[in-house]
Structure formats: C-alpha cells, structure tokens
Amino acid sequence: MALTLDELYRDLHSHPELSFSEHRTAAIVAQRMHDAGLEVHTGIAQTGVVAVLANGEGATVLLRADMDALPVHEDTGLPYASVARGVDPDGADVPVMHACGHDMHTTCLVGAVEHLVATRSEWSGTLIAVFQPAEEREGGAQAMIADGLFDRIPQPDVVLGQHLNPLPAGTIGVHPGTFMAAVNTLHVKMFGRGGHGSRPQKTIDPVVMAAATVMRLQTVVAREVAPFDTAVVTVGTLHAGLKNNIIPAEATMGLSIRSFDSAVGARLDSSVRRIIRAEAEASGAPREPEFTSGEVYPVTVNDPEASHRVTDALGRRFGADRVIDPGVLMGSEDVGMLATAAGVPLVYWLLGCVDPDAYAAAAAADRLDIDIPSNHSAQFAPVIEPTLTMGVEALAAAALEWFTTPA
C-alpha cells in the first residue's frame, strides 16, 4: 500500500539527499508517477524525474518541485528528524537535512498530480510534473535543460511552482513582476606560505589574509552600491588550517552575491574580485587568488498577467484574505530558467509553513527574526498541516486555471 502524503513527507524528511544525489527520492517519485498512470522519464540531469499526463485538448501546464537537501545538521527535535549524512562536492562527509522545504515541495507535487489524475474527467489538457535535482547547488534546472528536457516533453504554456516560506501556514504569497534576486556564487582560494605557528615571520598567513578580506568585503554594499539599489554580499564559508600551531598554506571562501539589476550584479562581482586580489597582494601572497563560479541564477520574474490569474484562482479556492503580496525577496531560484528556455510565463509563489499561533505570538513580541526559524536553519520545521494540504490544492488550483473544463 502506498504511503499517505503525510507519511511520504515524513519519509522524505528523514531521508534527505544532497544535490545530484537524490537517487532514493527520484525512485520514489518515479514509482508514484508510474502508479498514477503517467508517462515517466527518469535520469534527466542524473536524478531528475519528469512525468506527463496527456488528457485531451487544452493547455500544457508544467508544475515544478525541487528535491535536494542541504549540508545542515538537523536540530529540530522532531521524531522524524534526519540523521543522514552525505558526501559534498569537495569529498567531505557532511550531515544532511531538508532545511529548505524541498521535501514538502516534492510531496505537494506528488499529491497535486494524484489529485488531478483522480479528477481528470473534470479538466482537459496536458500535465507535466518536473521533479528537479540540485536547486541548491550547480543549477539543476539548467542541467535538465542541457540534458534535453524540452526534447522529451510537450511544449508547456506556463511554468508554475511554489516554495515554503516562514509565513503563517494557510497563507500564500504571490508577487507579480520581479520577485527574487539574481545570485552569483563564487568559490575563492587564497594562497599563503605555511609554517610553524611559533614562527609567523617565516610565513604568509592566509588566515589573516582571508579575515581581512571578509571584513573589507562588507564595504562593497555599504560604499559601492547606491542606496536606492538592493544588493547582498555574503561570505558563507571560510576554511583554513587543520591544527592550531600550524599556519596553513591556503584559505578558501564561498561567496553569495545577490542583486536585482544586472549592472549592479556586474559591479558587485568586479568589486569583490578586486578586493580579494588587492588583499592578497597587500599580504604578499605568492600567487593570485583562484576564482571558480558556482551556481549563477538570473532574477526570478513572475509574468504579471499569469500572476494575476494565479492570484485570482487561489483567492477563489482559499479566500482572497489568505493570498497576499509578499513583495520582493533576496532569495534566489533557478525555476525561471525552465520558463525562459521554454519561452513561456512563470508564476512562482510562497507557501506559508509556520504554526499560525507561534507566528502571531512572535509578531506580537516583535521577535519574528528570533523565534521563527527561516529556510536553511537547523531548526527549520514546517508544520505538516495545513501546509501540505494547502500546497497540494494550490498547485492543482493554479494548474486548473489553464486547463479546459469539458462541456
């Protein structure tokens, strides 16, 4: 007997997998799609799964969910908390957690497909369900496109999707136009000369070099970006050395650079590289830093007309008071690459997942940033209901807005 949706969610949460390693998850969703009677394609960009249901004349709607998890040690205390570990792209053994809600995204898409299959006499069109790998690293959407995604499926008329957000469960957020920031991820290696910690004069310390660089990078947004522009430069990783009495020979940093304007993004990238090179030279580094690009995602833009259609459809389904405009977000997504590659509109919305009472109490105490864990936190723990049911119904309702109703 197939797992219920809440059982499936708990199972996926307990068994997270890193980007391009979603083999177990992919097998599960492929089987569910096969059992639902869809045409299933597997192994796209290694672990991607796509399922197609042709159900008569009408629009072709692509629903997308991402499947990968993050290298985070879970600290939620849930009975189904992850204790999984994985190997990251650098070969390190790391804890793995669904700290961004992709397990819920996947479960909601499974549920929406199964609902639409069960009610197929009430609509006409073609449904495409895309279960994407590697949203969190290296760009799974682009990898699927490069692996011939749109050569294997019908041409969609619209791309739809959703993402968990620390809003009250029962709330949906749709914002037309520019919605999420572009991101450029940089991996940087800075070089020094190693030696004994008691003889710093014989070394070039990359730890000091990197520390000075991190502090100087904080001036990029503060002093090189106009106050009316929006930008973020985050140093998310900094690694150097293995022992406290050894000055290492190199240090590595991982940076995330975000903006809403391509000119601002280009200036950020140029400034970041200039500062890193200059700090290396100021420290007497024996060679220039090395730069390697990671994921590069464009600005996520919701088609205004399609967004209004989705907003109206969700308002009819749940009540207009439960569908809000959350404004723009500095978070980034690669879902827009699917719509751009297909040349069709995108609508991507937020799905609230926080216990409403806990949210209200935190808001009343002006402690939302303190008491409500956000995505990528080790304490990120969506309430399963009403999040799951609403996520399933939201995807189905949005898809039905494009499908034809038989006479």
Nearest to 55 by CA among 113, 104, 99: 113
Q: Which residue has the tokens 């990898």?
A: 143
Regarding beta strands 346-354 and 158-168, do their DSSP bridges make them parallel or antiparallel, or are they unpaired? Answer: parallel
- Which candidate in 135, 269, 334, 401 is catalytic? 135
CA dist 242 and 94 (Å) reads 17
Dihedral angle over CA of 273, 277, 278, 282, nearest 10: 160
Nearest to 202 by CA among 244, 246, 241, 240: 246
239 is annotated as contributing to ligand binding: no
Instruction: For CA atoms 34, 39, 43, 49, give the dihedral sign.
Output: negative
- C-alpha neighbours within 13 Å on the C-beta side of residue 343: 2
Give the 3-state secondary structure percentages of the chain, helix then strand then coil, rounded to 5: 40, 30, 35
Instruction: Give the count of beta carbons closer than 10 Å to the beta carbon of residue 48.
Output: 25
Residues 6 or more apart whose CB falls under 8 angstroms from that of 186 comprise 254, 255, 257, 269, 272, 291, 292, 293, 294
Active site residue 68: yes
Q: Which residue has the tokens 């995330």?
A: 256
Q: Is 390 exposed, middle or buried (0-12, 13-18, 19+ CB in 10 A)?
A: buried
First-to-last alpha carbon distance for the chain, in angstroms, is 35
Please give the structure tokens belonging to residue 208.
């000091």
Please give the structure tokens belonging to residue 398.
């949005």
- Which candidate in 22, 68, 334, 401 is catalytic? 68
308 is annotated as contributing to ligand binding: no
Active site residue 11: no
39 is annotated as contributing to ligand binding: no
- C-alpha neighbours within 13 Å on the C-beta side of residue 148: 7
163 is annotated as contributing to ligand binding: yes
Nearest to 224 by CA among 253, 185, 265: 265
The answer to whether 39 and 154 have CB atoms below 8 angstroms apart is no
Annotated binding site: 100, 102, 136, 163
* Catalytic residue annotation: 68, 135
Annotated binding site for Mn(2+): 100, 102, 136, 163
